[in-house]
Amino acid sequence: MGEEDFTLKIREEQQLWREQQEQQQERPEPFTTVSGEPVNDLYTPADIAGLDYLKDLGFPGCYPYTRGVQSNMYRGRLWTMRQFSGFGDAFDSNRRYRYLLEQGQTGLSVAFDMPTIMGYDSDHPRALGEVGRCGVAIDSLADMEILFDRIPLDQITTSMTINGPAAILWCIYLANAEKQGVPLEKVGGTIQNDILKEYIAQKSWIFPPEPSMRLITDIFAFAARRVPRWNTVSISGYHIREAGSTAVQELAFTLADGFAYVEAGIKAGLDVDTFAPRLSFFFNAHLDFFEEICKYRAARRIWARRMKERYGARDPRSWMLRFHTQTAGCSLTAQEPENNIVRTTLEALAAVMGGTQSLHTNSMDEVLALPTEKAVKIALRTQQIIAYESGVANTIDPLAGSYFVEALTGRMEAAAEDYFRRIEELGGVLAAIDCGFFQQEIADAAYSYQQAVDRGERVVVGMNRFAGGELPQIELLRIDPAVERKQVERLQALREKRDAIAVAGSLERLKKAAAGPENLVPYILEAVKLYATEGEIVAALKEVFGEYREKPLF
């Protein structure tokens, strides 16, 4: 029997089977993914009739990487357990990092406070009340020295969630590594540096798109020459999803951003294979187990094909989509927060089954505050139990070949391709941002989701179903209000102590370079080594670049 006959035969038999089952009643809830995609009652070989194993799936570590980017995946090395963390001042966060490393965490991930993220020093009027609140306050190299005190930067890789001022925080990190005696070639880590998703979803921007993209391509060029182990952009779907997108939107918008960075690099005159191997990705792990796994598998396949076929990359490392995952903060509930441990476990499991390279598991209390030490330990233990006790890391891509998983992977790929066409019709990612396309798509999806929750169609256990009505009674982390005052005092003491003339000179040279075509990274590096503050460098660049403003819509 040929493949077509086989498929026809299955469809006929399935029809007969269905006619016999028609009397049975189904539960009233809609059978859709958490993104609202319909899910059939049953999948068979007929649903994956066109799938070509060698072409569409292949082998792990081989094009198109659907089954994973390493040939031995977790049998070689487990994913990096990397808890996103930072609060208060550099002393507080250094203590937390050393605690996490003692507990078996294998990489660091820095959360900065809002003033640092937005490019304001801790003593700026706009920083009032925000210093050290939702991350660590870093104003200058002096703070970074404290943050990584007794943490050897040649032995640990660090991820930094920083975007608008990414080049500055990266330079501060590099300057600190040099002070520790670590040569730049040996320094490894990631800066998020994904400004496009800031305009789309996370909304922590500073400069307008054009100079922001120039800073990014400057980083590509500098890293390729001097810091080869650094991941220069972590192209992020996480925030797009948290802002309310569906899984397909997260997949499509993130990859579209990735293509835009590749095109910008090529346009800046760089060979694609000099920078594309250091692009990495960052996805959300939401609650819909299979949809998430299929999202990661589809992402790898789409990226590999585009990089090879459209952008002409020849280095296999340019084809590989490597990614970090964080479980979905937006899936957690303030009611009965202990249930969040279970949600996070399911999400983490999906990330592992989808082949993630590193993982952050949210703590149960993050819907209420930054996590306590106890809560973050449970979150780390969740990963360790999946890794060492559940057995899921024994074999590679264990769900491949499932009729459902392969059918959904293919469907998500096709839906993403539809979005790519729409974005192209709008004139590309920047034009689509400018006309509010992504922002409106996400706002619509977020509103539909909330309405489904409010109507009870989307069940949230302990919140809109099986609700006990009791308010949570768990210990929360408090940020001492004295943190802000002490940070401001240290910053002002630094300004007194440093060579003010040298700092002013470095800022002038930076401004002049920003107005021309030169790579800005060496200028920023020079300024941070003289203890110029982040806010001073951002202010200097704002004079040349201006600031971004968004049209508010809802």
Partner 1 sequence: MERKIRVLVAKPGLDGHDRGAKVVARALRDAGMEVIYTGLHQTPEQVAEAALQEDVHVVGLSILSGAHMTLVPRIRALLDERQLRDVLLLVGGIIPADEAAELKSKGYAAGVFTPGEPLDAIINFIRAQASPAEV
By the criterion CB under 8 A, which residues form the site for partner 1?
114-115, 117-118, 120, 126-130, 133-134, 198, 202-205, 242-244, 330, 332-335, 367-370, 443, 446-447, 450-451, 453-454, 460, 463-464, 471-472, 476, 479, 550-554
Q: Which helix (H) or strand (E) holds 450?
A: helix 437-454
Task: Tell me if 133 sits within 8 A of 116, measured CB to CB.
Answer: no
How many CA atoms are closer than 13 Å to the CA of 180, on its beta-carbon side?
Answer: 26
Q: Which helix (H) or strand (E) holds 6?
A: helix 3-21
CB of 463 to partner 1, least distance (A): 5
Is the Cβ of residue 125 or residue 269 nearer to partner 1 in the bound state?
125
CB of 461 to partner 1, least distance (A): 12
Is the Cβ of residue 421 or residue 551 nearer to partner 1 in the bound state?
551
The structure tokens listed for 169 are: 């925080």
Separation between Cα atoms, residue 11 and residue 527, nearest integer Å: 68
CB of 197 to partner 1, least distance (A): 11
Q: How many CB atoms lie within 10 A of CB 221?
A: 18
Is the Cβ of residue 272 or residue 479 nearer to partner 1 in the bound state?
479
Task: Tell me if 120 sits within 8 A of 137, measured CB to CB.
Answer: no
Determine the length of the chain. Answer: 554
E-only strand ranges, 286-398:
323-327, 358-360
Place of tokens 């007794």: 150
CB of 207 to partner 1, least distance (A): 14
Is the Cβ of residue 180 or residue 464 nearer to partner 1 in the bound state?
464
CA angle (200, 205, 210) in 5-degree steps:
85
In the chain, count of helices (H) and strands (E)? 21, 9
Please choose, from the candidates 206, 306, 190, the residue with its C-alpha nearest in 3D space to the C-alpha of residue 258: 306
Chain centre to alpha carbon of residue 417: 21
CB of 350 to partner 1, least distance (A): 22
Is the Cβ of residue 118 or residue 530 nearer to partner 1 in the bound state?
118
Separation between Cα atoms, residue 261 and residue 271, nearest integer Å: 13
> Please, what is the angle between helix 373-388 and helix 90-102, to 10°?
30
Task: Tell me if 302 sits within 8 A of 416, measured CB to CB.
Answer: yes
CB of 261 to partner 1, least distance (A): 21
Question: Residue 412: which residues within 8 A CB-CB, separation 6 or more?
Answer: 247, 248, 251, 291, 294, 295, 298
The structure tokens listed for 436 are: 């509010």
Is the Cβ of residue 150 or residue 551 nearer to partner 1 in the bound state?
551
Is the Cβ of residue 65 or residue 87 nearer to partner 1 in the bound state?
87
3-state secondary structure of 284: strand
Is the Cβ of residue 111 or residue 298 nearer to partner 1 in the bound state?
111
CB of 128 to partner 1, least distance (A): 6
CB of 22 to partner 1, least distance (A): 37
Please choose, from the candidates 323, 232, 242, 233, the residue with its C-alpha nearest in 3D space to the C-alpha of residue 283: 323
CB of 289 to partner 1, least distance (A): 22
CB of 472 to partner 1, least distance (A): 8
Is the Cβ of residue 242 or residue 413 nearer to partner 1 in the bound state?
242
The structure tokens listed for 393 are: 């890391």
Q: Which helix (H) or strand (E) holds 236?
A: strand 233-236
Is the Cβ of residue 503 or residue 538 nearer to partner 1 in the bound state?
538
CB of 199 to partner 1, least distance (A): 10
Is the Cβ of residue 206 or residue 224 nearer to partner 1 in the bound state?
206
